[in-house]
Amino acid sequence: MIEEYLDEDEDNEDEIEYYAVRPNKTKIKKDITALFNLGNEMSALSASNLKQLGLPQEIHEAIVQVGTMGQTGARKRLLKYAAGKLHKLDGEILDAVTEQFARLKNQSAHAVREHHIAERWRDRLIAEGDAALTDLLDGYPDADRQQLRRLLRNVQKEAATGNPPKSARLLYRYLKELLNTEEVASSEHPEAEDEYLDEDDQD
């Protein structure tokens, strides 16, 4: 069925679009556009995350296929097809899909934010040593000072000998885990994270 839709000519496509917006042209066209954009965003999800949305199989397959296509006319037609199918879903089902998608987006944004914060802490610890470590412990008092010192010493040794930066990767991994396990402590000291975010914005 998806392939049949993609094979339709432009005139037939226009007829389908006109039929879709006929009952209330302004509102339904706006809804279809929003669902078109939703489908486009969904197509960027990983396979596991896309599965979590609980989409009907026909829509799921269309979104998966969209994710494999370049910016072509066929991709646009397939997104219109998916948008039309989404528009026909029961309102409660569509609400559940959009709510789950919003949760996944928030989780993804949080993960990206943590990644950048961990990177900045790692870079600052390597560059500033004890001064940065003191600031880190102020914001994350449960951090293991001895382990961090050991990792930093190993980072310096590897840099001096020209060895691969294994310890720098381990330091990043430790900081990432620290952010995941001490979210409460992080929220109580937002000024440290905001400072790094502000610095990043200025770059």
> What are the pLDDT tens digits along the chain (203 aa)?
565 555 554 444 444 454 444 557 788 888 888 999 989 988 988 888 889 888 999 999 999 999 888 888 899 999 999 999 999 888 888 899 889 888 888 887 888 888 898 999 999 999 999 999 999 998 888 899 999 999 999 999 998 888 888 999 999 999 988 887 765 444 444 444 444 444 444 44
Give the angle subtended at the CA of 151 by the CAs of 146 and 156, to the nearest 5°. 125
Which amino acid, one-letter code, is at 134? T
- In this structure, the number of other CB atoms found within 10 A of the CB of residue 69 comes to 14
- Both tokens of 76, joined, read 């646009």
107 and 161 Cβ atoms separated by less than 8 Å: no
The distance between the two most distant Cα atoms of the chain, rounded to a whole number of Å, is 72
Task: Classify residue 68 by its DSSP letter.
Answer: T
Domain parsing of the chain, residue ranges? 2-89, 108-202
- In this structure, the number of other CB atoms found within 10 A of the CB of residue 49 comes to 16
101 and 37 Cβ atoms separated by less than 8 Å: no
CATH 3.30.70.20 applies to domain 108-202: no
Task: Classify residue 143 by its DSSP letter.
Answer: S
